[in-house]
Amino acid sequence: MPRHPRVAPAAAGLSHEVYSALALRARERPGPVYPLHVGDTWLEPLPAARAEAQRSAEHPRLHGYAPVQGEPALLAAILRRLAARHGVDVDPACLQVMPGATTGLAIVVGALLAPGDELVVPSPFWPLIRGIAISRGCTSVEVPFFTRLGERGFDPEAALERAIGPRTAAIYVNAPNNPTGRLLPAAAADAIAAVARRHDLWVIADEAYEDLVHAGEHRPLWRRPELAGRTVVTHTLSKSHALAGARIGYTHGPPEAMRAVRALQFHESYCAARPMQFAAAAALDGGDAWLAEARAAYAAAGRAAAAAVGAPPPEAGTFLFFDAAPAFAPGEGLSGFLERCLDAGVLLTPGPACGRDFETWVRLCFTAVPPDALADALARLGAVLRR
């Protein structure tokens, strides 16, 4: 059947307004609008890791292609980091530098799932994973999870088990979690491992916030020996090292998965930006003190934001996720509430972007703007919440 002027169904099912349908209106509004709807970090990166610190004199053909697997200097820095942080010697052949975790996860999903397959996604979740599944012709099956941890009677294994069907191919787990700021308790990790093994599923472990833990201990799923052969892990420097615009991440996993990941990356993006691979290597090699300071600043921001909205402080990450229903005006829904927040100068993410069960919830990024701006944004938001 002729296609023009229709576009592909998978693309037609996607929106670029996931984080806020109000962002365009925000631009027309007089006065400041604090963009707490997109996950970002306001700090400048370590000086050696900035774009302007990369020089052709040091790296001949700085702006040429990099090897598809990654620049040797960055691959070496990543292997050092994985060994130092996790005591794990990842097989160098099973490591792949990616142009950011968003592309990386699209590639991983494309490498592991076939069109028509289902991806189980414990919710609430990072808003783009649902669209990534759609873009690959797959379906995400949402399982309310992170907001239910600790709830009396909640059985994580039974909840996941109910989501498994004949087309389930993988479980995507992002912990520390965007948007809840929660770590994965051992019982929940046990449940994921049991279900993945029982049904022979891949596990896609998204470690975007591994370096931003504010309280408690993060025990990465991928370190569990019983999951080693079935877990593909993605990491990014976007949040940890304030390098979101650099678009650098990396992935590792079992050889058969990584061969497919590399082949797909070869065809979809070839390589990550070469100058920023040198920047990322500098961040990983020399950025530990910078990271400790950044983490402390973000943790303080998280506590301030939690106090302002009456939520518990986040265990990790850069977000708060809370039910805003008590602050709705009579007859008002989530969109009306979000408009009132915008009128007050604050953009928030609608909860349904993170899962269909969160119709009255909102996500707030507390690291998107510097402390003074955050204080102003929180005061404005507090006035809306107290109505």
Ligand X SMILES: Cc1ncc(COP(=O)(O)O)c(C=O)c1O
Q: How far is the CB of 237 from ligand X (least distance, A)?
A: 7
100 binds ligand X (CB under 6 A): yes
Stretch that binds ligand X, among 23-31, 99-107, 274-282, 308-316 (CB under 6 A): 99-107
Phi-psi bin for 305: left (phi > 0), alpha (psi -120 to 50), beta?
Answer: alpha
Among 178, 240, 251, 367, binds ligand X (CB under 6 A): 178
Mapping DSSP onto H, E and C, the string for the chain reads CCCCCCCCHHHHCCCCCCCCCCHHHHHHCCCCCEECCCCCCCCCCCHHHCHHHCCCCCCCCCCCCCCCCCCHHHHHHHHHHHHHHHCCCCCHHHEEEECCHHHHHHHHHHHHCCCCCEEEEEECCCCHHHHHHHHCCCEEEEEECCCCCCCCCCCHHHHHHHCCCCCEEEEEEECCCCCCCCCCCHHHHHHHHHHHHHCCCEEEEECCCCCCECCCCCCCHHHCHHHHHHEEEEEECCCCCCCHHHCCEEEECCHHHHHHHHHHHHHHCCCCCHHHHHHHHHHHHHCHHHHHHHHHHHHHHHHHHHHHHCCCCCCECCEEEEECHHHCCCCCCHHHHHHHHHHCCEECEEHHHHCCCCCCEEEEECCCCCHHHHHHHHHHHHHHHHC
Subset of residues 246 to 265 that bind ligand X, contact rule: CB under 6 A: 249
User: Which residue carries 């806020």 as its tokens?
Assistant: 20
131 binds ligand X (CB under 6 A): no
Among 21, 68, 73, 244, binds ligand X (CB under 6 A): 244
Comparing CB distances to ligand X, the nearer of 344 and 365 is 365
39 binds ligand X (CB under 6 A): yes
Among 96, 102, 240, 349, binds ligand X (CB under 6 A): 102
238 binds ligand X (CB under 6 A): yes
41 binds ligand X (CB under 6 A): no
Q: How far is the CB of 308 from ligand X (least distance, A)?
A: 22
Q: How far is the CB of 61 from ligand X (least distance, A)?
A: 25
Q: How far is the CB of 326 from ligand X (least distance, A)?
A: 27
Q: How far is the CB of 319 from ligand X (least distance, A)?
A: 8
Count the residues of the shown chain that bind ligand X, applying the rule CB under 6 A.
Answer: 13
236 binds ligand X (CB under 6 A): yes
Comparing CB distances to ligand X, the nearer of 122 and 249 is 249
101 binds ligand X (CB under 6 A): yes
Q: How far is the CB of 244 from ligand X (least distance, A)?
A: 5
Comparing CB distances to ligand X, the nearer of 138 and 242 is 242
Q: How far is the CB of 18 from ligand X (least distance, A)?
A: 11
20 binds ligand X (CB under 6 A): no
Q: Which residues bind ligand X (CB under 6 A)?
A: 39, 100-102, 126, 174, 178, 206, 208, 236, 238, 244, 249
